[in-house]
Structure 1
Amino acid sequence: MKIIRTSTIPLSLNVLLKGQLKFLNGFFEIVGISSEGELLDEVKQREGIRTIAINMERGISPLKDLISLFRLYHILKSEKPAIVHSITPKAGLLTMLAGKMAGVPIRIHTFTGLIFPTKKGFIQKVLINMDRLLCSAATNIFPEGQGVKKDLINYKITSKPLKVIANGNVNGIDLNHFSAGKISEAQKEQLKKELNISESDFVFVFVGRLVGDKGINELVKAFSQISKNEERSKPVKLLLIGPLEEHLDPLQPETMEEIKNNPDILDLGFQKDVRPYFAISDALVFPSYREGFPNVVMQAGAMELPSIVSDINGCNEIIVEGQNGMIIPVKNSQKLKNAMETLLSDADLYHQLKMNSRPMIESRYEQSVVWQALLKEYKMLLKEENIYV
């Protein structure tokens, strides 16, 4: 029984679905389709699945999108999967349309995040209509969390039933991997030494793409004011872990200048293993404008870090105000600064949030729960279509 999983870029298959594809491959023949690159080869090797490279543009590109659509159609027609299941917006649109054209009986798209709620005018209308078209071609829609589900309903994207798998999130969290105990004291001391971080420093960490809609402009502004305030309760550092994507959503020039010149901001780029950086940090700061269900907030919680997050989908499901973190308004550097200062100055609150962080992830998002729920869903859909495993 063949199931094809697709994403626009291989990073999504490689990171968002890590381990899941290998697990499902024990029950079905799983094939991964995404744009070409080393990460697609890595998925093939690590997950033990067959992969097919079909380049897909992340932005709107009518001619290239049409070429990708027909390549997908021909692949699906020849492969004859029982299920095709996409994540990420462009792969979702192209896969659902190609799947319908090719007669794939079960066509699933998981919305891991919505772009249009943060857009306005003509662009928003285009994005809404693209998602409506996607949904019209799909047989099943899985919002990644309750917030995404509400947006799909409120914007009237589809009248089809919407199902959140397990407690939300596309892949759950590997609690054995994301565990503070996996990083030794010697490793932490060595990394602190390399980064010139002292024992007295309170370390904030951000993990994600360094772009405007991740809230980096607000974060750098808030942190800069704190780090330059001589009356602060303790010295601070900010670790920025992630790639700078200047071509899609560039940071403001003053933000780039501050990152470059502030000695307390450490721009460390993409890191394959983020656990050591969580292990030497005290709190995650994640002021994103939009998310589906952010893995990084779960990962930080599993590593026993409280989080400051914006009041958006996913973040406000993982974090409960005053229990395992703090929730602030979107695009508000002053509120962000206030929350960061609260963690710096209120030791009792900080330790309470830290103590709750891992247990609140364990109880809701353990990885095997998500995988088993998805497997059960696949089997149920196949049975409903009289396709038996």
Structure 2
Amino acid sequence: MRFLMIASFAESLTGFRGPLIAALQAKGLDVHVAAPGLAAGDPVRARLEAQGLTVHDIKMERTGTNPIADLWTMFGLFRLMRRIRPDLVMGYTIKPVIYGTLAGWLARVPRRFALITGLGYAFQQESGRGGMRALVQRLYALALGCVQKVFFQNPDDRDLFRQRGILAADVPSCVVNGSGVDVSGFATASLPEGNTRFLLIARLLGDKGVREYAEAARRIRAGRSDATFAVVGWIDSNPDAIAQSELDEWVRDGVVEYLGKLNDVRPAIAASTVYVLPSYREGTPRTVLEAMAMGRAVITTDAPGCRETVVDGDNGFLVKVKSVDELGAAMLRFLEDPALAVRMGQRSRAIAEEKYDVHKVNAVMLDEMGIR
């Protein structure tokens, strides 16, 4: 059988979907992948081809809102599918789900699946986004009416899709434990000695809680010298991106230590004491799972996708979305009681092994797709 996976960000195919692709190949499927930015000579393309995948470079504006460009994206995907004749197709993130699914329906691909990895910028409840949100929801509803199954990474997102009429009652769905994490590749690492070191890994977006993290760090740094605050990530093209001037000011003032974008985050996690992600909403945050697998306590928000990863008081703390006060208070608890990071980190590792092992997650997905 031939399987086509569609992404909006090429690097996610090797990072987030690499183990799932390998599981598909292990079942004997001929796996094709499609994403923008995979022209000949691209290093990501080379890595994918080295895995035995057939790679297709497609035109897609990941964060654009031009309807003509999006129609051309759908037409290009339709032509691709008519040419390669996949038996199964799956898209993840907004545009691949919508336009990949509709193209798959038009091209009469027998089995079509959608993976909802989060809701994205268009679903955030800020003013000025109402028209965009309504359009995205209508397109989602149209596309999801054409699939055999929809995968969600947390129950809140599925409930929201049902409540808003995006996911019809007769469309099958399944909630899986995020993208999973390779618990052997992200092995437990001893906690560092010395100052308590907090770490945030994310695209530098407002919706990731980066500003709240920086403000909490500023307040704590003003009164204590036994804590440091690191940031790993990059400034994205998203409309909600942190401004370069903001980041430069935080670094200049000694509020955070910026480590840039890392291809391998394991050394940064190993050098940290506590992992922090004050996100407004997630599918299931992969970076949290990686930190848990390496034995790190976690501070995250009591928000969809985030709350599933932490048992409050057990392997970390849950704080209110956008609350700098609660975030700072949770950080201070680790400064006042260093033993917390040890105990909670051990619990994080146990939860990662039990619930989020990538092989367990992928086995569920393949079974739900009828791939045995």
Match of 1:104 among 92, 100, 109: 109
1:61 matched to which residue of 2? 66
Alignment of 1:146-161 (within 5 A): 146-159=155-168, 160-161=170-171
Q: Which amino acid aligns with 2:18?
A: K
The structure-2 alpha-carbon separation of the partners of 1:217 and 1:67, relative to structure 1 and needing over 3 Å to count, comes to same
Match of 1:118 among 119, 124, 128: 124
Match of 1:45 among 43, 49, 53: 49
Q: Alpha-carbon deviations, 1:267-300, whole Å to 9, x = none?
A: 1111011001111100011001121011111000
TM-score using structure 2 length: 0.91
Compare 258-267 and 269-278 and name the one that shifted more.
258-267
Match of 1:163 among 159, 169, 173: 173
DSSP 3-state at the match of 1:314: coil
Match of 2:195 among 193, 201, 204: 201
Q: Distance in 2 between matches of 1:356 and 1:305?
A: 9
Q: Report the alpha carbon displacement of residue 253 of structure 1 after superposing the two structures with TM.
A: 7.6
Q: Does the aligned pair in 2 maintain the 1:34–1:52 contact within 8 Å?
A: yes
2:8 matched to which residue of 1? 8
Q: Does 1:288 align with 2:293?
A: no
Q: Which amino acid aligns with 2:210?
A: I
Q: Does the aligned pair in 1 maintain the 2:280–2:303 contact within 8 Å?
A: yes
Compare 216-225 and 371-380 and name the one that shifted more.
371-380
2:183 matched to which residue of 1? 175
Q: Distance in 2 between matches of 1:246 and 1:32?
A: 23
Q: Report the alpha carbon displacement of residue 106 of structure 1 after superposing the two structures with TM.
A: 1.0
Compare 243-252 and 109-118 and name the one that shifted more.
243-252
Q: Report the alpha carbon displacement of residue 201 of structure 1 after superposing the two structures with TM.
A: 1.4
RMSD across aligned C-alpha pairs, in angstroms? 2.1
Q: Report the alpha carbon displacement of residue 257 of structure 1 after superposing the two structures with TM.
A: 4.6
Q: Report the alpha carbon displacement of residue 254 of structure 1 after superposing the two structures with TM.
A: 7.4
Q: Which amino acid aligns with 1:28?
A: L
1:195 matched to which residue of 2? none
Q: Does the aligned pair in 1 maintain the 2:278–2:299 contact within 8 Å?
A: yes
Q: Distance in 1 between matches of 2:47 and 2:89?
A: 18
Alignment of 1:209-358 (within 5 A): 209-229=203-223, 232=224, 235-245=226-236, 248-251=239-242, 255-358=246-349
Q: Which amino acid aligns with 1:135?
A: L
Q: Distance in 2 between matches of 1:328 and 1:254?
A: 27
Q: Distance in 2 between matches of 1:260 and 1:352?
A: 31
Q: Distance in 1 between matches of 2:251 and 2:102?
A: 45
Q: Which amino acid aligns with 2:133?
A: Q
Q: Report the alpha carbon displacement of residue 349 of structure 1 after superposing the two structures with TM.
A: 3.3
Q: Does the aligned pair in 1 maintain the 2:220–2:328 contact within 8 Å?
A: yes
The structure-2 alpha-carbon separation of the partners of 1:212 and 1:10, relative to structure 1 and needing over 3 Å to count, comes to same
Q: Does 1:127 align with 2:136?
A: yes
Match of 1:88 among 88, 93, 96: 93
Q: Report the alpha carbon displacement of residue 89 of structure 1 after superposing the two structures with TM.
A: 0.5
Q: Distance in 2 between matches of 1:205 and 1:133?
A: 40
Q: Does the aligned pair in 1 maintain the 2:196–2:335 contact within 8 Å?
A: yes
Q: Does the aligned pair in 1 maintain the 2:151–2:174 contact within 8 Å?
A: yes
Q: Distance in 2 between matches of 1:143 and 1:337?
A: 31
Q: Does the aligned pair in 2 maintain the 1:3–1:29 contact within 8 Å?
A: yes
Compare 136-145 and 346-355 and name the one that shifted more.
346-355
Compare 237-246 and 71-80 and name the one that shifted more.
237-246
Q: Distance in 2 between matches of 1:372 and 1:252?
A: 41
Q: Which amino acid aligns with 1:33?
A: A
2:32 matched to which residue of 1? 31
Q: Distance in 1 between matches of 2:47 and 2:93?
A: 17
Q: Report the alpha carbon displacement of residue 247 of structure 1 after superposing the two structures with TM.
A: 5.4
Q: Distance in 2 between matches of 1:36 and 1:252?
A: 24
The structure-2 alpha-carbon separation of the partners of 1:379 and 1:357, relative to structure 1 and needing over 3 Å to count, comes to same
Q: Distance in 2 between matches of 1:42 and 1:365?
A: 29
DSSP 3-state at the match of 1:213: helix
Q: Distance in 1 between matches of 2:73 and 2:43?
A: 19
Q: Does the aligned pair in 2 maintain the 1:141–1:163 contact within 8 Å?
A: yes
TM-score using structure 1 length: 0.87
Q: Distance in 2 between matches of 1:200 and 1:41?
A: 42
Match of 1:138 among 135, 141, 147: 147
Q: Report the alpha carbon displacement of residue 200 of structure 1 after superposing the two structures with TM.
A: 2.3
Q: Alpha-carbon deviations, 1:175-223, whole Å to 9, x = none?
A: 1100135x9x9xx8xxxxxxxxxx4211000111111111111110111
Flag structure 1 segments of 5+ consecutive residues without an equivalent.
189-198, 381-388
